[in-house]
Amino acid sequence: MRERVLVGMSGGVDSTVAALLLQKEGYEVVGVYMKLHHKPGYHEENYAKAQRVGDYLGIKVHFHDLSNEFKEEVYDYFVESYKEGFTPNPCVMCNRTIKFGKMMEFADTLGIEKVATGHYCKCDGYAIYMAKDETKDQSYFLCEVDKKVLPRLVFPLGEWIKEDVKAYAANIDVIESFATQKESSEICFVENSYDEILAKHMDIDIPGETLDTEGNVIGSHKGYMYYTIGKRRGFIVHGAHDPHFVLEIKPESNQIVVGTKEKLEENAFEVKQLNMFEELVEFDCTVKVRFRTTAVPCHVESEADRATVTLKEPVFGLAKGQIAAFYKEDKLLGGGVIC
């Protein structure tokens, strides 16, 4: 009897090729399209693509509406984080609670043990590793996944290069048109900018004061939710000769603190919601403090669900609410929310 696997299918190239590869490996593939938000026309188009692939492969593709759960666990978290002056990473929380949370629960209702997606990373059942294609590696976004699900995860694209995936897809009639489609956005529910999302829920256009590090008013800004740590433009500083960057956000007073680049430098920080795949208390590793950054060496001391991270070389623009992911070479050790 063939082993069954539930594949998260978005209607895009990566998940489509993942399903095809698993079928070729001998798995009995079952697909699921997860509706996560209410962007007009989005799901009709992409579910139709997923169904076409399902027909081509001869597999069933379930439609699973998780929009309520997604709103509570991911969307609202995104909005509330910005209200508090944080810089959230909704994709990390989606992977923990929805894609490898609710999707796992759905697999259980179908009696399916293995779950697969088109993520670019690897998993051996005990740990998650960086993908062969370093430019597409998505392991960072999985650092908060519950370690209990690791034995169930399959990532068929972990050993693939993105361009090879697109070339492979281009040779298959049913998905030929997918191979040239635009890459999906990093945050699925954001059409253009996060400002547009926030403006639906509150007035973000409330001008405020720009302060220096001594607390002096030196200019103005258009509303604190337009800014993230490290942002260089969009605010006014009177009499400044050097470029200024956002150093701190004060939501309670609608103020931002700015300064020169060297004041963005950080050598230590703390994380909460610490999620480790191994029982490590005090250890050396590398850490990525944003997705598109190079991992830097650090020393970590943890206690319960919090940790203190001491960097062996400084980073710039550390933002509360962002994710710190810990690595030992290409092995993902876990991660936490910068606080």
**Strand 296-303 versus strand 282-288 pairing type:** antiparallel
Buried b / exposed e along 209-241 (16+ C-beta atoms within 10 A): bbbbeeeeebbebebbbbbbbbbeeebebeeee
Number of helices (H), then strands (E), belonging to the chain: the values are: 8, 18
Report whether 121 contacts 149 (CB < 8 A): no
Q: Is the dihedral of CA 89, 91, 97, 101 positive or negative?
A: negative
Neighbours of 316 (CB within 10 A): 15
Neighbours of 166 (CB within 10 A): 16
- Reply yes or no on whether 188 is catalytic: yes
- Reply yes or no on whether 91 is catalytic: no
Largest CA distance in the chain: 74
Catalytic residue among 121, 143, 188, 339: 188
Neighbours of 151 (CB within 10 A): 12
In terms of Cα–Cα distance, which of 318, 202, 213, 310 is closest to 258? 213
Q: Exposed/middle/buried for 59, CB within 10 Å: 0-12, 13-18, 19+? A: middle
Q: Exposed/middle/buried for 298, CB within 10 Å: 0-12, 13-18, 19+? A: buried
Q: Exposed/middle/buried for 317, CB within 10 Å: 0-12, 13-18, 19+? A: buried
* Continuous H helices in 171-253: 194-199
| Beta carbons within 8 Å of 164's beta carbon, 6+ residues apart | none
Catalytic residue among 94, 121, 143, 298: 94
Q: Which residues are identified as catalytic?
A: 94, 188
